[in-house]
Amino acid sequence: MLVHMNAGALELAQRTASSAGPFAASLAADCSQIALAMRAGAIGDALDAFDSTASRLGRFLTFVVVASELLGHGAPTLGAVLGDYGRRVLACLDRVQHALDRGDLVGLTLALEHGLGPTLGEYCGYAEQVERGLDLRMAA
């Protein structure tokens, strides 16, 4: 049963990997647009947009965590690099959450514009390696 679950997770991660780069780029652009809306004073619209982006962020982070675990078995260096990337995204999300908790709109804008957005955009530098690494795991 565990082997079957791992095979299913690997297959899902492999299929997801092909779209993860554009998905992360889209999330990064969303963060930038939300920050711009906040700077323009459209706070309600910006917060609504961030709220709708939150579930997409969760799905992306789930993929990163699962992929780093799966890669850790066949490509440990890449798995570790992806795991570190996931921790950096989580740290950015912590800063966003902290700003939200304090009602610090300036801090939230900065956390999105200079933290979360650029960090999400960094995934594009890993996307091809992750996809190839998961493909190799699938072939094994």
- Tokens of residue 105, six digits: 């709109």
Classify burial at 74, counting beta carbons within 10 Å of its beta carbon; exposed 0-12, middle 13-18, buried 19 or more: middle
pLDDT value of residue 5: 43
Phi-psi region of 103 (alpha: psi -120 to 50; beta: other; left: phi over 0): left
- What's the whole-model pTM score? 0.88
pLDDT value of residue 11: 80
The string of pLDDT tens digits covering residues 80-117 is 999 999 999 999 999 999 999 999 999 999 999 999 99
pLDDT value of residue 1: 31
**What distance in Å separates the CA atoms of residue 61 and residue 2, rounded to the nearest whole number?**
22
Residue by residue, pLDDT tens for the chain (140 residues) are 333 447 777 787 888 899 999 999 999 999 999 999 999 999 999 999 999 999 999 999 999 999 999 998 888 999 999 999 999 999 999 999 999 999 999 999 999 999 999 999 999 999 999 999 988 765 55
**What distance in Å separates the CA atoms of residue 108 and residue 83, rounded to the nearest whole number?**
25
- Tokens of residue 73, six digits: 């078995």
